């Protein structure tokens, strides 16, 4: 499953090289979508998942949306094994939860580090976007065919052109919520989008992002055929806030959520809340996600109607590992995750 795809067939020929820049040709979005096509039946299913996510986020479906899965995917086989387990659990719990798998292929880094399967699938540090794009699309297709809705973080401004038709919910991360380029992108996305609060914990930037993302935009982009283009977008009405804590301060407690809802309401945007149980809320200690999820669901069960969703970082094995020669199968290379057993026990108990 981790087989490199043949670069020759992926049009990755060098274009130009200067001392400051080398350009390497990539397939267009249309070419890649053509190589790994979505059937009409699957496209209809994905439309259906997006509609279910919308209904939960707009309070028309009382279930809780759970976005759960690895911090990052580095091994397709482990991701598929995780997907099979999650699909069985999602079916079992579908009366209470709408479960969407985190299938994160791009990682925003605080400084530098591995940026995800899409950029550097072999983790050599040299990058191989041609292979990364193809492996990412093939994996999303295979996971979708298991019958799972998928979530990503939309980071590179053109990546959704290549992969977006397979995604049912996406995040704009804490490091990019303030970026106009990402807000413009969201304005043209066909799925619901969660904006994270800033890394400093501020939710004002996410509220501004929701307003901007709901607005039509005209911006510079690349057409699906690969030419420079002016992209005009209608605005995305299905955005919401994700509380992930910041600068060591958590924001999943009753008071923080009430304050966030008040600010959202004052700003006239959707008051739906997703709590990210990981990241600064868990202070990078994966097991803390268990207590956080329980505490937030207790608030919901006590009658907080704005809490509509949770995010959990989880993989086959608990914890995280450094990328060396003795990799543990199914263990995160980025942030620490809950292991599968912990995840299943938690979700069944919520
Ligand atoms: O979700 C993963 C990380 O928190 C995010 O990519 C930042 O990681 P870093 O601080 O290790 O670069
Ligand atoms: C990078 C992530 O989160 P954040 O933007 O909240 O740091 C993530 O969810 O993988």
How remote is the CA of residue 173 from the centroid of ligand 2, in Å?
5
What's the CA gap between 341 and 314, in Å, rounded? Answer: 10
Mutate to test the pocket of ligand 1, among 109, 112, 155, 246 (most ligand atoms within 8 A of CB): 109
What pLDDT is recorded for position 10? Answer: 47
How far, in Å, is the centroid of ligand 2 from the Cα of 246? 11
Residue 76 domain boundaries? 22-349
* DSSP-assigned states of every residue in 118-150: TT-TT--SS--HHHHHHHHHHHHHHHHHTT--E
The verdict on ipTM greater than 0.85 is yes
Residues of the chain predicted below pLDDT 70: 1-13
Query: Is residue 33 within 6 Å of ligand 2 at its C-beta?
Result: no
CATH of residue 33's domain is 3.20.20.70
Number of domains in the chain: 1
Tens digits of residue pLDDT in 271-313: 999 999 999 999 989 999 999 999 999 999 999 999 999 999 9
Residue 2 within a domain: no
Contact 326, 301 (CB under 8 A): no
DSSP code of 11? T
The dihedrals phi and psi of 22, each to the nearest 5 degrees, come to -120, 135
State residue 5's pLDDT score.
55
pLDDT tens per residue, range 252-265: 999 999 999 999 99
- Residue 9 covered by a domain: no
For residue 13, being part of any structural domain is answered with no
Does residue 190 have its Cβ closer than 6 Å to ligand 1?
no
Q: Which ligand is nearest to the CA of 281?
A: 2
Residue 212 counted as domain residue: yes
Return the number of other C-beta atoms located less than 10 Å from residue 47's C-beta: 14
* CB 47 within 8 Å of CB 149: no
Planar angle of CA 234, 35, 7, nearest 5 degrees:
115
pLDDT at 3: 47
* Amino acid 4: pLDDT: 52
Write the CB contacts of 146 (distance below 8 Å, at least 6 apart in sequence).
80, 83, 84, 87
Q: Is the CB of 182 under 6 A from ligand 2?
A: no
CA 287 to chain centre: 21
Q: Give the whole-angstrom CA distance, residue 59 versus residue 211.
A: 20
Could you give the C-alpha distances from 331 to 86, 148, 166, 292, 318, in angstroms and in order? 16, 21, 25, 22, 6
Q: What is the pLDDT of residue 332?
A: 98
Q: What is the pLDDT of residue 173?
A: 98
Question: What's the CA gap between 321 and 132, in Å, rounded?
Answer: 22
Answer yes or no: is 11 within a domain: no
Residue 16 lies in a domain: no
How does DSSP assign 211-233, residue by residue? Answer: HHHTS-EEEEEE-TTSSEEEEEE
Atom in ligand 1 nearest the alpha carbon of residue 279: 4
pLDDT score, position 8? 41
pTM reported for the whole predicted model: 0.96
The answer to the question of residue 231 being in a domain is yes
């Amino acid at each position: 499953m981790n087989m490199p795809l043949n670069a020759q067939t992926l049009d990755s020929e060098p274009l130009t090289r200067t001392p400051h820049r080398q350009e390497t040709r990539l397939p267009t979005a249309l070419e890649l979508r053509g190589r790994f096509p979505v059937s009409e039946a699957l496209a209809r299913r994905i439309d259906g998942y997006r509609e279910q996510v919308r209904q939960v986020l707009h309070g028309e479906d009382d279930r809780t949306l759970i976005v759960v899965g690895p911090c990052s995917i580095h091994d397709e086989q482990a991701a598929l094994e995780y997907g099979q387990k999650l699909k069985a659990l999602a079916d079992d719990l579908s009366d209470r939860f709408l479960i969407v798998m985190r299938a994160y292929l791009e990682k925003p880094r605080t400084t530098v580090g591995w940026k995800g399967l899409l950029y550097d699938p072999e983790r050599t540090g040299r990058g191989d976007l041609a292979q990364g794009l193809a492996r990412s699309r093939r994996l999303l297709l295979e996971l979708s065919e298991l019958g799972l809705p998928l979530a990503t973080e939309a980071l590179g401004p053109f990546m959704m052109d290549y992969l977006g038709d397979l995604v049912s919910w996406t995040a704009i991360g804490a490091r990019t919520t303030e970026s106009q380029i990402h807000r413009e992108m969201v304005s043209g996305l066909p799925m619901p989008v969660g904006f994270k609060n800033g890394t400093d914990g501020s939710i004002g930037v996410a509220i501004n992002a929701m307003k901007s993302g709901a607005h039509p935009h005209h911006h510079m982009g690349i057409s699906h055929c690969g030419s420079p283009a002016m992209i005009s977008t209608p605005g995305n009405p299905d955005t919401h806030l994700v509380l992930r804590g910041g600068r060591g301060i958590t924001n999943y407690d009753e008071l923080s959520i009430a304050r966030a809802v008040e600010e959202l309401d004052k700003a006239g945007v959707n008051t739906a809340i997703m709590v990210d149980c990981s990241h600064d809320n868990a202070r990078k200690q994966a097991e803390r996600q268990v207590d956080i999820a329980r505490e937030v669901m207790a608030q919901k069960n006590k009658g907080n109607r704005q809490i509509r969703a949770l995010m959990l970082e989880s993989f086959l094995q608990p914890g995280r590992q450094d990328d060396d020669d003795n990799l543990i199968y199914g263990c995160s290379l980025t942030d620490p995750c809950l292991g599968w057993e912990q995840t299943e026990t938690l979700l069944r108990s919520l």
